[in-house]
Amino acid sequence: MYAFFNNGLSGGAVEDDYVAKSGEVLFGQYPTADELSAEFPQYASLKQGGDLIGQARKALTDTDHIFYQVQEAILIGSTTATSPDVVAFLEWRRDVRLIVRKDSNASTSLPTQPPKPAGI
């Protein structure tokens, strides 16, 4: 189960017995952009920003499900946090997050997304 808030821009996995707080929406599985747009009317306009920060936010949201799959794969032992493809994916997310945070070390363009880690 997943809980989302902040107009659909923030959220994550929660226990099955989790009770949504004010402003949160629960989804049985990781929601698609269309599902988030249906629940959060401002979601689509916030996600479709043509600016770099908007693109970076969209890239992070679009790959959140891969991030959760990587975490799960590490926990069950089907990959490791030091596997080169996992490191490349996590470093890419870090670099994209720097753009969203307007960090002085952030790239001035959206980095190329690496392939999905093997076994995910």
Average pLDDT, integer, range 26-52:
78
Q: Do 74 and 40 reside in the same domain of the chain?
A: no
**Nearest in space to 112 (alpha carbons), one of 97, 99, 96:** 96
- Domain of 107, in residue numbers: 49-120
Q: Do 9 and 66 reside in the same domain of the chain?
A: no
Q: Do 77 and 108 reside in the same domain of the chain?
A: yes
* pLDDT value for 48: 56
Predicted confidence band of residue 109 (pLDDT cuts 50, 70, 90): confident
Q: Do 76 and 63 reside in the same domain of the chain?
A: yes
Mean pLDDT of the chain: 88
Contact 86, 70 (CB under 8 A): yes
Convert the pLDDT of each residue in 45-85 to its tens digit: 666 555 788 889 999 999 999 999 999 999 999 999 999 99
Does the pTM surpass 0.75? The reply is: no
Look at residues 48, 68, 85 and tell me which one is the last residue of a structural domain: 48
* pLDDT value for 90: 97
Q: Do 67 and 120 reside in the same domain of the chain?
A: yes
Q: Do 53 and 33 reside in the same domain of the chain?
A: no
Separation in Å, CA 113 to CA 23, 28, 33, 58, 109: 31, 27, 19, 12, 12
Q: Give the span between the Cα atoms of 1 and 104, in whole angstroms.
A: 36
Q: First CA to last CA across the chain, in angstroms?
A: 19
